[in-house]
Structure 1
Amino acid sequence: LYFWAVYHLTNLYMAEHWGAERFILLEGGVYTATFWLGQVLLGGLVPLALFYIRPFSQSRAWLVTGAALVILGGLAQMYVTIIGGQAYPLEIFQGMEVKSSFFDGQVASYTPSSPEVLLGIGGVAIALLMTVVAVRVLPFLPQSLADRDVAA
């Protein structure tokens, strides 16, 4: 949360980024909602509360829930950064008028196709497979968590 606050504040410092920042933070519709609700609230503040409030931080189920929310917040961040950044209508040549018949100056909508969704799922599956293989082959995890086996 801190680094994204610094990122957006430093972008607001430069006048040429005001339009894009205003679009993402205030006027972007689904992109603004995804940023504030998905990334900031569900991906940042709720997990922070789950990890630091005593009854929740003592429960494994709530810790797993918090970790899953952080991952969902990261996915929301990627969506806002990649798709929202491309949906904002940029002024390519400043001071010049560029015209075409291709929806100039309008916010574009995007829905991923099924091959794109399958590519994303396949990428996550490959990453999980690599993690499982690495944990099985390399000695990352301790053999036992008994008090006598764990160094103090």
Structure 2
Amino acid sequence: MLSNPGGDSGDVIDTRPITWAAALAHRLGDPTEFEQVVSRLTACGLSPQEVHAALADGGDALYAAAQSGRADWSDSFGGPLAVALLAAEVGALAAHLNWRASGIRSLAVDALLDDFSAVAVAGELGVARQKVYEIAKSGLRPPYIENVPWRTP
């Protein structure tokens, strides 16, 4: 049970440890790839909590540090290799979310085609008529993560 004694905002800080499976939920589709990623991150000295933090802010802290112009900008993250691995995970999460959004869009476009012509749907979406059919046929292709790292279930 989580508590927030004396808190009046209703926000509860979850202090449970984060597992690799939770930090890398977007990588769970391929067990071999998942283990390789965990191995690389662990060998670099990164913890699931550090990876989760980078994903939870969408890479904002990494970007701010990189933009700082300081010679030691990567040190607080564990050095250039750690930053490269963290940035790769931000990119992998973004790609996963894009893949998930594409699947959702596909279902919506397919449903629209039940009631409207491809020309009408294309006009509303701002794409060519042929693209409407391409979008509609893709469908959902899980596994997808259920929740983004910055949102608790």
Same fold (TM over 0.5): no
With CA pairs under 8 Å and 6+ residues apart, which has the higher RCO, 1 or 2?
2
Looking at secondary structure, tell me which structure has more helix per residue: 1
Q: Which has the larger radius of gyration?
A: 1
Superposition TM-score, scaled by structure 2 size? 0.31
**TM-score, structure 1 normalization:** 0.31
